[in-house]
């Protein structure tokens, strides 16, 4: 159901409030530059520090600005099943095309607990669900057998796999027919090579056209072109994570004049050393370098 390059869009702030103008501009930027879908209120959108009202407002703004031109998969997960149902109901009412549901974090449920969590949400709200597995953030791994079991629920249509394991992706696809989307930019091409259908990307925030072309080339079987783009992007894949996401990507967007670099505690602004490292990489991409020059004249 979901295929291509989806952006895990940042949440721009101005004076500790959502910068609606900047957010709407970002949505238009992605539509104009080939992004296949938009995912607000994920990890990159700083969902843990958004109030309920802010969370819902970001989802509303993105859906309104997208105007049905690309699908919107709203982040709606929490470590509380009740909160997850609440956010998922809002996403459906707002007109989202689907929801991205993180595995509950900190409370470390068993595999049966994970199954019951997601099943309870799908019983309560009829909307396409993308499971989100990122054990490095949550402390729990959604195992292939559990993904296969959940895939039998008709509304569970995809999984965002950010375990960092191609072996785990292979196991999932050997066990069930579910859409796998990469949760790691640098593993997008390898995941597609074993049957994945795309990515929910951080790097697409700043290089949407290149990410879209990478996925499009790989899905069409043009692996020569896909490898070329992969290696062109590899330095930025790695440097977008020199500090905790979304610190580097928000800084990158700020230097090209698209948003403020403002970020909420407990995350802090990027260090001076990593600013230098990141700028050195960004200037290698003409579409970014031109904007940096424009904004720093």
Q: What is the CA radius of gyration of the chain?
A: 18
Strand (E) positions, the chain?
4-8, 13-14, 17-18, 37-39, 73-75, 98-102, 129-133, 156-161, 179-182, 198-201
Q: How many CB atoms lie under 10 A from the CB of residue 174?
A: 11
Q: Which of 69, 105, 119, 132 is catalytic?
A: 132
Closest CA to 120 of 147, 142, 95, 88: 88
Cβ atoms within 10 Å of 106's Cβ, excluding its own:
8
132 catalytic? Reply is: yes
Active-site residue, selected from the candidate residues 92, 115, 160, 216: 160
Whether 115 is a known active-site residue: answer no
Instruction: Please provide the size of the chain in residues.
Output: 297
| Per-residue H/E/C for 187-227 | HHHHHHHCCCCEEEECHHHCCHHHHHHHHHHHHCCCHHHHH
**How far, in Å, CA of 231 to CA of 191, rounded?**
15
Closest CA to 181 of 49, 28, 42: 42
Point out the residues that are catalytic.
Answer: 132, 160
């Amino acid at each position: 159901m979901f295929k291509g390059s989806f952006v895990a869009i940042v949440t721009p702030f101005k004076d500790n409030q959502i910068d609606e103008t900047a957010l709407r501009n970002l949505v238009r930027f992605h539509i104009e530059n080939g992004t296949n879908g938009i995912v607000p209120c994920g990890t990159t959108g700083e969902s843990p520090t958004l109030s309920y009202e802010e969370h819902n407002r970001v989802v509303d703004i993105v859906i309104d600005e997208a105007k049905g031109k690309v699908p919107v998969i709203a982040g709606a997960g929490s470590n509380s099943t009740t909160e997850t149902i609440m956010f998922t109901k809002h996403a459906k009412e707002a007109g989202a095309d689907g929801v991205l549901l993180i595995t509950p974090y900190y409370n470390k449920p068993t595999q049966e607990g994970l199954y019951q969590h997601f099943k309870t949400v799908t019983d309560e709200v009829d909307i396409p669900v993308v499971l989100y597995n990122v054990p490095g953030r949550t402390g729990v791994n959604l195992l292939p057998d559990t993904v296969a079991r959940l895939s039998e629920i008709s509304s569970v249509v995809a999984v965002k796999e950010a375990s960092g394991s191609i072996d785990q992706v292979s196991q999932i696809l050997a066990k069930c027919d579910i859409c796998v989307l990469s949760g790691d930019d640098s593993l997008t091409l390898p995941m597609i090579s074993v049957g994945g259908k795309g990515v929910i990307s951080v790097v697409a925030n700043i290089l949407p056209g290149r990410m879209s072309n990478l996925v499009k080339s790989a899905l069409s079987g043009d692996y020569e072109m896909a490898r070329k783009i992969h290696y062109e992007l590899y330095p930025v894949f790695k440097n977008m994570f020199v500090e905790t996401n979304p610190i580097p990507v928000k800084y990158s967007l700020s230097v090209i004049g698209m948003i403020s670099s403002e970020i909420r505690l407990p995350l802090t602004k990027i260090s001076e050393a990593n600013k230098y490292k990141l700028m050195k990489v960004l200037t290698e991409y003409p579409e970014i370098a031109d904007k940096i020059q424009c904004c720093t004249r």
